[in-house]
Amino acid sequence: LKTRHSALPVRGYLDPSITPTMAVLLSAAIFLLGGFGALLGSKLAPQETTQSTAWMYALAMIAQIPVVIAYAILRKRCGSRHIGTVAVIAFIVFVPMALATAAVLHGILSLAGLEPPTSLGHETLVNLTVGPWTMSKWVIVVCATIGAGIFEEVLYRGLILPTFVTVIGSKTAWSAIIATSLFFAAMHIGVAPISALVGLFVLSIGLCWARVKSGGVIAPILIHIVFNTMNIAFVYSTHL
């Protein structure tokens, strides 16, 4: 499907080996299994403690492993292309854009009294600044970097984005990218302030672009892992 240079064609990039119905079922399984794992983890330590958060994160992600394996098996014949190049371009363009957007909006909302002046844009980052550095915090770090990078990208860019492409039915992927990014940002409501949500929306556009251009989820996984690692490194260097 030939399109103008600025468009992101659908055919050849997002034609999945997974049907939309199967994608919805796998997405539901991720949410259900993740919720069950988090619920189980919350029972293994006192509430609202670092230990409880670590158990919740770890068991939620362990519970989702079967879905990720199923996704990998179903996609094994669908390779990626230009992973390194696409990942670098998306990172250089969209990560600074996301951080700058969140920072400017946070400054405006802070001056207006609509957001606290803290520079931390996610509940997980706040949790890492409380108390001494323990093994539980290392578990949180691994889950928030490698774990979130893999599981969230399989869910949002691997399953939800192609489903939106099919449902919306546009000739290019941009409408589906916007819809996926809105959904991605909305799922962080409650753990991130408004400014961070807007930044995540911008970041998600870049992750979706990387998914489309590379034909797989490896490029967005790499970007996601590095992005979260940068945020945690910032917290470690400035707040601990």
Q: Which of 33, 63, 240 lies closest to 134 in space, CA to CA?
A: 240
Q: 192 forms bridges with which residues in the sheet?
A: 189
pLDDT digits (tens, 9 = 90+) for 8-61: 666 555 655 788 889 999 999 999 999 999 999 999 988 878 899 999 999 999
pLDDT digits (tens, 9 = 90+) for 132-154: 888 999 999 999 999 999 999 99
Tokens representing residue 26 in the block = 């796998």
Q: H helices within 169-217, ranges in order?
A: 174-186, 194-214
Residues 50, 127 contacting (CB under 8 angstroms): yes
| C-alpha to C-alpha distance for 81 and 4, rounded to whole angstroms | 20
Residue whose entry in the numeric block shows the structure tokens 């539901």: 28
> How many whole angstroms from its chain centre is CA 19?
22
Please tell me the pTM assigned to this model: 0.90
